[in-house]
Amino acid sequence: SVDVCAKTGAHRTERERNVLVAEIQQLLPTTVMLPCNRLEKLLMQSWKMQCRECYLHVREDFDVSPDYILEDHQCDWDHFPMFTSQVLTKHTDEVWCAAFSRCGKYLATGSRSGAAHIWKIINESTVEPYKELTGRSSSSLLTWSDDGALLAVSAAEGHLADVHVYDVHNGVIFCVVENRANDSTVMSFVPNSSVTYRLVCADQMGHFCQYTLSKNSVKSEGKFEGYRIRAVHCLRNGSVLAADTHNRFRSYRFSDDSEITLIEELSQISTFVVDKSERRVLIDTKLHGLRLWDLRTRTLIRSFVGAPHHDFIIHSAFGGPEQSYIATGSTDECIYVWKQSSEELIAKLAGHTARVNAVVWNPRLPQLVSCSDDCTIRIWSPLVGIDPSTIQQN
């Protein structure tokens, strides 16, 4: 054996010798000398792959279990958000819409009549009343600003359809976007605009505008004419995705007035939702169910059928680690859950007694929220940490 210290006068300590070995490993091909900690990396890759393959894996903070070396990891049903931990009853009419703030700390809900409500998320099984947003008679759609400071609320057709924008944490109206067409408005905040808030609004009467918002002031910043829009979503690159009454899914840019058709669906589009990565969109169609598309390649990945929507607008959601799950409501009073990688249904959750109008998935926690024509909101959580003998009502 060669005494490196005697030959070079260096590398006297174990740490220095380890550094030398690491440097040599960088120079030699892997056929001669394996990279440092190669086995550990392979085992960690195996663990991550097993988590992706597990059809019930909804926690990103799962501790690595040594058992995965002996057998493949598989979560049990108690870890999946399919158990009712709370039933919220503050609304006195059909609950039509719900939306989480981007941070996942707040939930907004709106109904056919009465005030919109803001709920504070305490943990994955518990929410508490936070604010009541008065000033309008109904709520058909809700959208949060990126920083969670503002909430835009639109009303159903014929319900004094101006868009009210609220300062959430003070519980007051920030500004009002006029809607003289008296048509139901769809809207989306432009991301990354915490200094200057921008809101895109559209309807089926041909109005499609971007507004700059400030306290008690609204300024139009551009518009497209003649498009009858059913749903919109603003991307981080400045584009606005919109579905119109001609079954087209298109991209618009207010900065240069450009527009392009991305997808032409086979039947009427009711609404759509975009995943967090902005690479995939789930389009709700009247005749062909929920259809998952790749936005970059503009190709259909798969369809999800079985959840009856009929002619109603029912809002679906992506959720879980890597947005790998899809959840939706239905006219048969149930919530349907799939994993993106398969058309096979994972879970069908029962509990509501009327149509489920919207399902939202907390972006930070394994927590589902559903709202229904039965005037209730249900919080769905993992059974772990819940006393199954009690259901809280607020």
Q: Is residue 46 domain-shared with residue 150, that is, in the same domain? A: no
Q: Is residue 49 domain-shared with residue 186, that is, in the same domain? A: no
What's the pLDDT at 138? 87
Q: Is residue 81 domain-shared with residue 45, that is, in the same domain? A: no
CB atoms within 10 A of CB 24: 11
Tokens of 156: 């159903």
In a domain, 65, yes or no: no
First to last CA, the chain: 75
Q: Is residue 259 domain-shared with residue 343, that is, in the same domain? A: yes
Nearest CA to 283 out of 248, 258, 257, 254 is that of: 248
Q: Is residue 191 domain-shared with residue 109, that is, in the same domain? A: yes
Query: CA-to-CA distance for 213 and 73, rounded, in angstroms?
Result: 49
Percent of residues, the chain, with pLDDT higher than 90: 66
> Average model confidence (pLDDT) for the chain?
89
Query: CA-to-CA distance for 85 and 194, rounded, in angstroms?
Result: 34
What's the pLDDT at 191? 94
pLDDT one-digit tens code per residue, 83-99? 999 999 999 999 999 99
- Which of 187-196, 239-248, 349-358, 384-393 is predicted with the least confidence, judged by mean pLDDT? 384-393
In a domain, 99, yes or no: yes
Query: CA-to-CA distance for 241 and 317, rounded, in angstroms?
Result: 17
Going by pLDDT thresholds of 50, 70 and 90, the confidence category of residue 393 is: low
Instruction: Identify whether the C-beta of residue 209 lies closer than 8 Å to the C-beta of residue 179.
Output: no
Q: Is residue 313 domain-shared with residue 347, that is, in the same domain? A: yes
**Section 318-323 average pLDDT:** 90
Q: Is residue 44 domain-shared with residue 153, that is, in the same domain? A: no
Q: Which amino acid makes up residue 350?
A: A
Q: Is residue 250 domain-shared with residue 218, that is, in the same domain? A: yes
In a domain, 58, yes or no: no
Going by pLDDT thresholds of 50, 70 and 90, the confidence category of residue 372 is: very high
pLDDT over 90 at 380, yes or no: yes
- Which of 80-94, 181-195, 301-315 is predicted with the least confidence, judged by mean pLDDT? 181-195
What's the pLDDT at 23? 84
In a domain, 66, yes or no: no
What's the pLDDT at 217? 94
pLDDT one-digit tens code per residue, 109-152? 999 998 999 999 999 999 999 999 988 778 999 999 999 999 99
Q: Is residue 17 domain-shared with residue 153, that is, in the same domain? A: no
In DSSP terms, which residues pair with 108 in a beta bridge?
Answer: 99, 118
pLDDT one-digit tens code per residue, 160-176? 678 999 999 999 999 99
In a domain, 7, yes or no: no
Which domain covers residue 17, as residue numbers?
13-53
What's the pLDDT at 243? 98
What's the pLDDT at 388? 54
pLDDT over 90 at 9, yes or no: no
In a domain, 140, yes or no: yes
Q: Is residue 160 domain-shared with residue 263, that is, in the same domain? A: yes
In a domain, 257, yes or no: yes
pLDDT one-digit tens code per residue, 251-282? 999 999 999 999 999 999 999 999 999 999 99
In a domain, 70, yes or no: no
> DSSP per residue over 286-349, as a string?
TTTEEEEEETTTTEEEEEE--S--TTS--B-EEESGGG-EEEE--TTSEEEEEETT-SSEEEEE
What's the pLDDT at 27? 86
Q: Is residue 47 domain-shared with residue 82, that is, in the same domain? A: no
CATH code, domain with 271: 2.130.10.10
Please count the structural domains in the chain.
2
What's the pLDDT at 33? 81
Q: Is residue 44 domain-shared with residue 124, that is, in the same domain? A: no
